[in-house]
Chains A and B, each alone.
Chain A
Amino acid sequence: DIVMTQSPSSLAVSAGETVTINCKSSQSLLSSGNQKNYLAWYQQKPGQSPKLLIYLASTRESGVPDRFIGSGSGTDFTLTISSVQAEDLADYYCQQHYSYPWTFGGGTKLELK
């Protein structure tokens, strides 16, 4: 199974800051066939189900604000949130959708400083 490692596990931020969350996979998520990286990001607010934000490393799901930016390739990926807003305080998870069984990172909790 592909192991997904996220860092940091928690992050305290002030509104308006730019934050970066990292995700590392134990194997490359880059498909040699189409040169796409099979990495997704989810946001989970307290008491809610996870919400898909980004897939294929950098494609935003419909309706996701453009302050959420996914980047990276191979085994190293980043979720950047520009100008964090109060509504962005949540847990964030990466997930590889490259090979079965799908696996998730341990999560990053974004908190208010």
Chain B
Amino acid sequence: QVQLQQSGAELAKPGSSVKISCKASGYTFTSYYISWIKQTTGQGLEYIGYINTGSGGTNYNEKFKGKATLTVDKSSSTAFMQLSSLTPDDSAVYYCARESSLFAYWGQGTLVTVSS
């Protein structure tokens, strides 16, 4: 069965970076893009962007350009998202999801807390 397993919760200081992973299994990794979605209590669900898992090409929501960097390691069927120059506004749960304009499969979410 399709599974997306994300890395654990992160506690980071303002100005630092974090890198979250999303390991896929149960399907051919390079057949689907991986997308990332941010969830906060105040802003709901926000689409960050996707990575083409075959070519490594990326497409970002304008709002997250410069904040998120998406990469992939095909050899381990793992997608990564690095968040840089963290501020308290980046505190959220971040999900990876298998992309097909719809999101039928999601990771379990990674809580990122930005605090000094």
The answer on A and B forming one complex is: yes
A interface residues (Cβ-Cβ under 8 A, vs B) = 1, 38, 40, 42, 49-52, 55, 61, 93, 95, 97, 100-107
- Which residues of B are in contact with A by a Cβ distance under 8 Å? 35, 44-47, 49, 59, 61-62, 95, 101-104, 106-109
Q: Tell me which of A50, A95, A101, A104 has the highest count of chain B C-beta atoms within 10 A of its own C-beta.
A: A101
Q: Chain A: interface secondary structure?
A: loop
28 contacts between A and B (CB under 8 A): A1-B61, A38-B101, A42-B103, A49-B106, A49-B107, A49-B108, A50-B103, A52-B102, A52-B104, A55-B102, A61-B104, A93-B44, A95-B45, A95-B102, A97-B101, A97-B102, A100-B59, A101-B47, A101-B61, A102-B35, A102-B47, A104-B44, A104-B45, A104-B46, A104-B47, A105-B44, A106-B44, A107-B44
Residues of A within 8 A of B107 (CB): 49
Given contacts A49-B108, A49-B109, are A93 and B101 in contact (CB under 8 A)? no
Q: Which residues of B contact A40 (CB under 8 A)?
A: 102
